[in-house]
Amino acid sequence: MSLKLERLQGFEGARPVVLVIMDGVGIGKYVEGDYVRSASMPTLAWLKEHGVYTQLKAHGRAVGMPSDADMGNSEIGHNAIGCGRVYDQGAALVGKAVESGSMFEGKTWQELVANVKGKGTTLHFIGLLSDGNVHSHLDHLKGMLQQAAKEGVKRVRIHALIDGRDVPPTSALDYVRPFEAFLAELNGKAGVDYAIASGGGRMNITMDRYEANWDMVARGWACHVRGEGRQFASAEAAIETYRAEIPGVLDQDLPAFVVAKDGQPLGPIGDGDSVVLFNFRGDRAIELSKAFEQGDEFKGFDRGRRPDVLFAGMMQYDGDAGIPKRFLVEPPRITRTIGEYLADAGVRQLAISETQKYGHVTYFFNGNRAEKFSGELEDYVEVPSDIVPFEERPWMKSAEITDKLLEAIPSGKYGFIRVNYPNGDMVGHTGVFDAVHIAMEAVDLALARLLPAVEKAGGILVVSADHGNSDDMYEHAKDGSVKLGADGKPKARTAHSLNPVPAIVWAPGRENQVHLADDVEGLGISSLTATCLNLMGFATPEGYDRPIVKLG
C-alpha cells in the first residue's frame, strides 16, 4: 500500500491539530468511585458541550486483546491510536502460541530447554504472577512449566513479581497459594523440582520503564540473580510478614524477598542456566533484558559478576534495538502509522510527555519503533518525571508539559502535536482517592491553559484517552454495590477499567464544518487516527478505521 496521503476534498485542514491523550481517564459505569466525574473538571465539561463529543472503546477486541473481558492498557492503546487500526496484541499472540504449541516448536524454546538438559542446570522464569493480561498471564507460565516438565527439565525456579495493579491491590495470595498448589502437583506427578525462588512488588523491584529508576531493577537483580536479600521460607510467608509489618501496603509496593532453605537461597541464577522473562509487554521488560544481555556498555547499575546464561524474552520488546536477541513469540509488526504517513507528506510533528509516558507517545505510538521516521520533521520532548510516589505529587509534570506546548503551538512549526498527560493512570494506580482528585484537576487545568493557544493559532484540539482507570476507583460487587474494607471505607481498585473513554474535537472558528459522523456506535480509539488526519485535510488511508467526524 502507498504511504502517499491524498488531500481531502471540501475541507482545507487545520494546523496544528493537537491530540491530547488523558492517560487513564474513562467514563465511569458507577457514580461511586468515578473520580473523573467527582473531580472539579470544568474545562473538560465545557469541551464536551462546545465540541464534537462521543465515546470510544478502549479495551478488549477494540484494541487487539483476546476478548472484551480484557482491559486495555497504555501500550496497546497508543499502538491503536498511532496506527489507526487494530492488531492482535501480545496477550492474544502469546495465548495462541501456548495453546497451539507453536511456541514450543520454535528454535528459542528448544535452545533454552536443550541448554539446561545438556548441562544439568536450571531453567528460570521471571515475570508478573497474575492473570491481569496486561504484562503477562499466569496461564502462559503454567503452560510453559507443564511443557518443560514434559520435556524432562528437572529444575525450574520462578521469580515472581507481585501485581496488585492490573488486578485487585491486595490479591497476591489469591495467586500465590493456588500457584504453589499447582507446582506441588506438578512436582509430584512429573518428579521434578519446580519452586518460587524470589519476588517482590512490581513497583518496588525489576519492572521499571524508560530508565526512570534503575534502582528498581538493581533491587530485582539482587534477589533474582544473586539470591541476596531478606529470606523467607516461602513467597506466602514473605507476603504475610510484609503485610503485618507495613499496615496498608499494596501488593505492587511489597519489598523484595528471597525464598531460602537452611539459610541458602533457593534459586540464584548461575552460569549455564536458561532464563525466560515471561512478560509480553515491552516497556517494563527492556531494562532487565539489557541487564542480562549487555556487556561493558551497560550503565544502569553495578551488576557485579554477570552470569553466563541463555536469556530470552516472551517477545522482542524493542525490534529496532534488537532487545532481547532471543524471544519466544513474534510481536505484531505494525506498519503505516500516522507518524510515518505525515513524515512522508512533509508534515512536522511534535511528541511530548514526561518520562512515565514518553515512550508511549514515541515508541508505542510509532508501532513499536524506537527510531524517528524523519529526524528533520519530528521533535520528541521528554520532561523528566519526579522519582517520588505518585500520590505525593499527583499533579506530576502537567504544568511543565503544558509550558512546552504553549511554546510549540504558536510557533507555527508543527502540523501535528501529540501529548500524553499521565496523571489519571499513574495516580489512579496508587488507590489514594484524594490524590486522584488532584490528578484529575491538574489535567483539567492543563486543558484550560491550552484552549486560548489552540484558538489563537487557528488549530484544532482533539481530546481523548488510551484507557480508563481513575473513572473506576472502588471495588464493586456484582450487584453494583461498593465493597468495603475492615475500616468501613471503600476498597480501592487500582487496575485499568473496562469503560469507554471520551473523544472530543474542538474546532474554534470551524464549528459549522466539523460534525459528529453519522455512525460512531462501537468505534474504538483507533478511530482517532483518521480523525486527526481528516482534520489536517488528508483523506483516510486505506485500511484505517473510520473517523468520528464528518467535515464540510
State whether 167 and 27 are in the same domain: no
Could you tell me if residue 487 is inside a domain? Answer: no
Q: Which helix (H) or strand (E) holds 536?
A: none
CA 25 to mean position of chain CA atoms:
14
Could you tell me if residue 432 is inside a domain? Answer: yes
Q: Within a 10 A sphere around the Cβ of 536, how many other Cβ atoms?
A: 23
State whether 68 and 213 are in the same domain: no
State whether 80 and 95 are in the same domain: no
How far is the C-alpha of 29 from the C-alpha of 214, rounded, in Å? 37
Q: Which helix (H) or strand (E) holds 97?
A: helix 90-100
Question: Structural domain of residue 465, as residue ranges?
Answer: 17-88+337-476+492-551
Catalytic residue set: 74
How far is the C-alpha of 90 from the C-alpha of 135, rounded, in Å? 8
What's phi and psi for 307, nearest 5 deg? -65, 150
State whether 305 and 394 are in the same domain: no
State whether 188 and 262 are in the same domain: yes
State whether 34 and 82 are in the same domain: yes
Provide the residue-wise pLDDT of the chain in tens; the chain has 552 residues.
568 999 998 898 999 999 999 999 999 999 999 999 999 999 999 999 999 999 999 999 999 888 888 888 898 999 999 999 998 888 889 999 999 999 999 999 999 999 999 999 999 999 999 999 989 999 999 999 999 999 999 999 999 999 999 999 999 999 999 999 999 999 999 999 999 999 999 999 999 987 889 999 999 999 999 999 999 999 999 999 999 999 999 999 999 999 999 999 999 999 999 999 999 988 899 999 999 999 999 999 999 999 999 999 999 887 667 899 999 998 777 999 999 999 999 999 999 999 999 999 999 999 988 899 999 999 999 999 999 999 999 999 999 999 999 999 999 999 999 999 999 999 999 999 999 999 999 999 999 999 999 999 999 999 999 999 999 999 999 899 999 988 999 999 988 999 999 999 999 999 999 999 999 999 999 999 999 999 999 999 999 999 999 998
How far is the C-alpha of 180 from the C-alpha of 194, rounded, in Å? 10
How far is the C-alpha of 260 from the C-alpha of 196, rounded, in Å? 10
Contact present, 130 and 163 (Cβ < 8 Å): yes
Could you tell me if residue 8 is inside a domain? Answer: no
Q: What residue spans of 431-526 are helical by DSSP H?
A: 433-457
Number of domains in the chain: 2
**DSSP per position, 260-294:** EETTEES----TT-EEEE----STTTHHHHHHHH-
**CATH code, 198:** 3.40.1450.10
Q: Which residue among 294, 329, 364 closes a domain?
A: 329
pTM attached to this predicted model: 0.77
State whether 368 and 429 are in the same domain: yes
State whether 69 and 35 are in the same domain: yes
Could you tell me if residue 9 is inside a domain? Answer: no
Contact present, 422 and 466 (Cβ < 8 Å): no
pLDDT tens track for 399-421 = 999 999 999 999 999 999 999 99
State whether 349 and 325 are in the same domain: no
Q: Which residue among 304, 329, 354 closes a domain?
A: 329
